[in-house]
């Protein structure tokens, strides 16, 4: 394993950890969406890394572009739900989301 792949893998790992840490620590709906996006960006990096290692860069690029598109749609839907929740609750705190229990 050469130094470049080591750096990329470390960066990806750090980004995933950052995203998950943010997800666990925050109570804000918008920050949760950002946390998910950070984790997904790490995966994008991993896919590019995979393409570089195995030489099939074309497939990797296709995958990454498709993934970015899908990710944007997920972020839009998430933001839409967050906005509706803001209108219902008056804030974006996930501690307010306690209607469903059991």
Sites of contact with another protein (CB under 8 A): 1, 9, 16, 19, 23, 29, 32, 36, 39-40, 42-43, 46-47, 49-51, 53-56, 59-60, 62-63, 66-67, 70, 73-74, 77-78, 81-82, 84-85, 88-89, 97, 99-100, 102
Nearer to another protein, 9 or 11 (CB): 9
Beta bridge partners of 46: none
* Nearest alpha carbon to residue 28 among 97, 102, 101, 88: 97
String of DSSP letters for 24-49: HH--BHHHHHHHHHHHHHHHHHHHHH
Nearer to another protein, 56 or 91 (CB): 56
């Amino acid at each position: 394993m050469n130094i470049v792949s080591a750096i990329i893998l470390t960066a990806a790992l750090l980004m995933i950890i950052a995203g998950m840490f943010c997800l666990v620590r925050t109570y804000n709906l918008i920050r949760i969406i950002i946390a998910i996006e950070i984790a997904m960006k790490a995966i994008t990096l991993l896919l590019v890394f995979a393409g570089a290692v195995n030489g099939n860069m074309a497939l990797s690029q296709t995958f990454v572009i498709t993934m970015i598109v899908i990710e944007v749609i997920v972020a839009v839907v998430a933001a839409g739900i967050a906005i509706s929740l803001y209108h219902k609750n008056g804030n974006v705190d996930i501690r307010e989301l306690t209607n469903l229990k059991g």
